[in-house]
């Protein structure tokens, strides 16, 4: 069996990295489309923000982590967006799928009375 040179390994790894960046967005879109389909038939409830991530670098992502309960079972999800005006443990309005309770989205982040003035 022939040994593969370092130069060849570098090329192989480079091709794999490029393939990853080409294929990953495709699968990400499939997951989001499936979630959107599941949320067509959804139930509204209250959720609580448990983490607010504000990026420390220019190109970082804003997101929040939310938890909610369905039939005494706790769920949590992460949603991209700027939630920096909210405080931890604030209540938001969410929708979760009837078919898969773990699929949810925030529908009103200014649900609490103290944030009503921020709605556009």
Q: How far is CA 49 from CA 17, 38, 90, 91, in A?
A: 35, 22, 6, 7
Spatial distance between the Cα atoms of 30 and 75, rounded to a whole number of angstroms: 22
Q: What gap in Å lies between CA 12 and CA 6, rounded to an integer?
A: 10
Q: Taking a C-beta distance cutoff of 8 angstroms, is the pair 83, 109 a contact?
A: yes
Beta-strand relationship, 42-53 and 104-108? unpaired
Percent of the chain topping pLDDT 90: 32
pLDDT in tens, 6-49: 778 888 888 888 888 777 777 766 666 667 777 788 899 999 99
Q: What are the structure tokens assigned to 69, written together?
A: 């309960």
């Amino acid at each position: 069996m022939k040994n593969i040179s370092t130069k060849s390994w570098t090329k192989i790894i480079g091709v794999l990295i490029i393939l990853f960046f080409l294929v990953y967005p495709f699968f990400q879109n499939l997951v989001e489309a499936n979630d959107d389909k599941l949320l067509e038939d959804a139930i509204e409830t209250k959720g609580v923000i448990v983490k607010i991530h504000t990026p420390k670098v220019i190109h970082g992502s804003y997101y929040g982590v939310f938890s909610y309960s369905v039939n005494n079972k706790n769920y949590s999800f992460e949603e991209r967006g700027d939630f920096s005006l909210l405080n931890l443990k604030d209540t938001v309005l969410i929708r979760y799928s009837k078919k898969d309770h773990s699929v949810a989205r925030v529908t009103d982040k200014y649900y609490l009375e103290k944030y009503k003035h921020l709605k556009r």
